[in-house]
Structure 1
Amino acid sequence: MSVAEPRRIVLFRHAKADWPQVTDHERPLADRGRMDAAVAGRKLADTGVPFDLALCSTATRTRETWKLAVQEFPHRPKTVYEERIYEASPGELIAVLNETPDEVRSAVLIGHNPGVQGLADVLPGSAEEDARSRMSRRGFPAAAFAVLTFTGSWKALEPGVAKLLDYWAPSE
Structure 2
Amino acid sequence: MKTLTLLRHAKSGWDDPVTRDFDRPLNAKGKRAAQTVGRNLRDLGLEFDHIVASPAIRVGETLDAVVAGYGRKLAPVWERRIYLASAATLLDVVHELPADADRVLLVGHNPGLEDLVLMLVPEAADGLRTLVEEKYPTATMAEMTLAITGWDDAAAGRATLTRYIRPRDLDATLGPDED
Q: TM-score with structure 1 length normalisation?
A: 0.89
Q: How far apart are 1:79 and its partner, in Å?
A: 1.4
Structure 2 counterpart SS, 1:125: coil
The counterpart of 1:60, out of the listed 57, 60, 63, is: 57
Moved over 6 A (4+): none
Q: Distance in 1 between matches of 2:119 and 2:43?
A: 25
Structure 1 match to 2:116: 119
Q: CA separation in 1, counterparts of 2:69 and 2:163? A: 19
1:90-169 to 2 correspondence within 5 Å? 90-125=87-122, 129-137=126-134, 139-152=135-148, 153-169=150-166
1:76 and 2:73 aligned:
yes
Residue of structure 2 equivalent to 1:36: 33
- Residue 101 of structure 1 deviates from its aligned partner by 1.1
The two structures have a TM-score, normalised by structure 2, of: 0.85
Instruction: Let me know the Cα RMSD of the aligned residues.
Output: 1.9
Once the two structures are superposed, what CA deviation does each residue of 1:80-139 show, in whole Å capped at 9, x if it has no partner?
A: 011110010000001011111110010111100110111111111377x542343344x1
Displacement of 1:77 = 4.5
Provide the secondary structure at the position in 1 that maps to 2:76.
strand
- Alignment equivalent of 2:7, drawn from 12, 18, 34: 12
Q: Is the 8 A contact 1:28 1:61 kept in 2?
A: yes
**Aligned partners of 1:73, 1:104: CA distance in 2, in Å?**
20
Q: For the Cα contact (< 8 Å) 2:118–2:133, is it kept in 1?
A: no
Partner of 2:171: none
Report the CA distance between 1:147 and its aligned residue. 0.6
